[in-house]
Amino acid sequence: MKSQTDILRLQPFQAVIFDMDGTLLDTESVFRTIVFEVCTELGFEMTDAVHMSMVGGSHERTNQLLVEAYGVAFPYTLFDERCRVIMRERSHGGVPVKAGARELIGELRERGIPTAVATSSRQPHAHTHLGAAGLLDLFETVVTRDDVLHPKPHPEPYLTAAKRLGIDPLHCLAVEDSHAGVSAAHAAGMQTVMVPDLVHPSDEIRALGIAVLESLDHVRLAAFPKD
């Protein structure tokens, strides 16, 4: 594993593809609170372990994890709807952006490097949140769960984003915060950076040889060193 203490310099790249929640948007901690609240409301006890397993996962994967944890009686459809309603209510005042996100995207735009988003969220959620954060119009394309057959950790979201940008995946930089996302980007053949949010790299993730950096500011410095 590389770290910022190694004065890491990223390999040259022609495009950057970002995950959304927890990478660009500081929403995972908000969603964590909502998940615990809704589970309590429905008569179930959410745990840190179950929640952590959900981070970065698709709608289908989350359903599977919750049924495995609480049994087939778990009302996933109701849980999902309640979480979405509350998240919308709490996003009315705007969606918080991760530190360094605007600066990194701004520098990429100045340098003429195309960018995209590859998220496990569905299209309405992704476009609403990116729009509320003032980021939606900064990307050439946004790939959501609705655009692919196979969500993360399958590489299809990243491969789709690269195809839309017209850039070979081998020449793309991917920025992620979750294990599922890192696995997807790495499997797509991309240079992959993990910026941990709620979840830290596991031994399996470290074994992929990806770069792990502290923040998007560190990603910007590693991509464009100030000599």
CA distance 167 to 111: 16
Mean pLDDT of 44-71: 87
Higher pLDDT, 57 or 15: 15
Pair 124, 186 in one domain: yes
Residue 160 pLDDT: 98
Question: The domain containing residue 145 runs over which residues?
Answer: 4-26+95-223
| pTM higher than the cut 0.75 | yes
Do 32 and 137 belong together in one domain?
no
On the question of pLDDT at 201 being above 80, the answer is: yes
Binned at pLDDT 50, 70 and 90, residue 138 comes out as very high
- CA dist., res. 154 & res. 15, Å (int): 20
Whether 37 and 83 map to the same domain: the answer is: yes
Report the percentage of the chain scoring pLDDT > 90.
73
* Tens-place pLDDT, residues 70-116: 999 999 999 989 988 888 888 777 889 999 999 999 999 999 999 99
- Whole-number percent of the chain with pLDDT over 70: 96
Question: Is the pLDDT assigned to residue 175 strictly greater than 90?
Answer: yes
* Residue finishing a domain among 62, 90, 118: 90
Last residue of a domain, one of 90, 120, 139: 90
Helix runs in the chain, H state only: 28-41, 48-54, 59-70, 76-90, 101-110, 123-132, 156-165, 179-187, 203-206, 216-223
Using DSSP bridges, classify how beta strands 15-18 and 141-143 pair: parallel, antiparallel or unpaired: unpaired
pLDDT, residue 4, reads 43
- Answer with the one of 65, 90, 115 that is the final residue of a domain: 90
CATH number at residue 102: 3.40.50.1000
Give yes or no: residues 215 and 171 share one domain.
yes
pLDDT attached to residue 227: 57
Q: What is the pLDDT of residue 141?
A: 98
Alpha carbon 28 to chain centroid distance? 9
Q: Are residues 104 and 131 in the same domain?
A: yes
More confident residue, 7 or 65: 65
